Amino acid sequence: MELAQLRYFVAVVEEGGFTRAGERLHVSQPGVSAQVAQLERELGQRLLDRSGRRVTATEAGEAVLVYARAALAAVEGIRRTADEFAGLLRGRVALGLVPGAAVGGLDLVALLGDFHDAHPQVEISLTEDTSERMLAALRAGELDLAVVGLAGEPPPGITARVVLDEPLVAAVRENDPLVRSAVDGSVPLAALRGRALIGLPRGTGARAVLERACAEAGFTPRVDFEAAAPAVLARMAARGLGVAVIPNGPYTRPAPGLRVLGITGPRLSARVALAWRTTGPPGPAARTLLTRLRSALPPVSAERT
């Protein structure tokens, strides 16, 4: 029995077929099939059910799968331990980012570039998604770290460190009625009741903050347009498509045809945080990157669990 046979067997089960397993492992489909067949002969058991459109594990295969994964994990652990003693960091880090996370004090591009220079053997995968889905992926172990928007406390099992805290503002066309009714450059949240709003998509931290505040004020926000980029929302507001509720950032600077008003009663805040599982990332590469990010990113508030 060889490790390669176990690796091929696990890949076939996880991918549901020999062709996709071969693509994942960069091995020809016949090669994968032959190795798994050899493993079945050595064990004297049929491990895979090949009768359906999707290849699945038999009852014996399910039992063997547990030990196959454990064996592969043990070998990877041995390699990582040896690399750590040699001062060489390897592995893979799955990092999630909200769109626009490199804005303000979050120069993640520079931080990731420095980390790559120091540890060129570490593979970093980047995923952009909504905060809601990335927090779920963190809890499921699909992501190691994530930069997310927070509407409140992090969910159970997640620790977060807020690194950016910006007020939500109302961006409107310069002749919008809100401009005339504003007091000291601000309008109450209740003034947005019934107005056509332009906002970030559902699942983002800023959108959750808006919806929660409106619910507490007794109304449901009417969001007619959504976009992931606040700069696009500001431009749409300048064209009179509605009131853009966006974080107060570079895209809210004075521009022709656009007025930016504060929101009061209550003040709304969009917070961006670095988040990770409270138990810590499983691999040394992710743990090292987390340590570097925690020391480099500007803390706005204490870490919350």
3.40.1170.10, 3.90.1150.110, 3.40.50.300, 3.40.190.10: which CATH number matches 91-157+277-296? 3.40.190.10
What confidence score (pLDDT) does residue 85 get? 61
Q: Which of 211, 203, 248, 242 is nearest to 225 (CA)?
A: 242
Q: What is the pLDDT of residue 302?
A: 63
Tell me what pLDDT residue 282 has.
79
Residue type for 122, please? V
- The reply to whether domains 3-85 and 164-270 share a CATH topology is no
- pLDDT score of 100: 60
> What's the pLDDT band for 246 if we cut at 50, 70, 90?
very high
Lowest-confidence range among 33-47, 88-102, 155-169, 244-258? 88-102
User: What band does 106 get if pLDDT is binned at 50, 70 and 90?
Assistant: low
| pLDDT tens digits along 28-60 | 889 999 999 999 999 999 999 999 889 999 999
- Which range among 110-114, 193-197, 214-218, 223-227 shows the weakest confidence by mean pLDDT? 110-114
pLDDT for the residue numbered 6: 92
Averaged pLDDT for residues 277-301? 84
Q: How far apart are CA 27 and CA 12, in angstroms?
A: 12
The pLDDT of 216-220, averaged and rounded, is 95
164-270 fold = D-Maltodextrin-Binding Protein; domain 2 (3.40.190)
Each as own residue / partner, the long-range contacts of residues 290-294 (CB below 8 Å, 24 or more positions apart, any chain) are 290/144, 290/145, 292/111, 292/114, 292/115, 293/111, 293/145, 294/161
Q: What is the mean pLDDT of the chain?
A: 88
pTM of the model: 0.66
161-190 pLDDT, tens digit per residue, is 988 888 999 999 999 999 999 999 999 999
What does the pLDDT read at residue 264?
94
> Hey, where are the domains in the chain?
3-85, 91-157+277-296, 164-270
pLDDT in tens, 116-144: 998 888 889 998 888 999 999 999 889 99
Q: What average pLDDT does range 221-247 have in this prediction?
A: 93
How many angstroms separate the CA atoms of 140 and 144, rounded? 10
Q: How would residue 101 be classed by pLDDT, with cut points 50, 70 and 90? A: low
**What is d(CA 273, CA 149) in angstroms, rounded to the nearest whole number?**
6
pLDDT: which is higher, 27 or 87: 27
What mean pLDDT do residues 270-297 have?
88
Q: CA-CA distance, 70 to 8, in Å (whole number)?
A: 14
pLDDT at 24: 87
Architecture of domain 3-85: Orthogonal Bundle (1.10)
Mean pLDDT (whole number) for 283-299:
85
The percentage of the chain sitting over the pLDDT mark of 90, rounded to a whole number, equals: 55
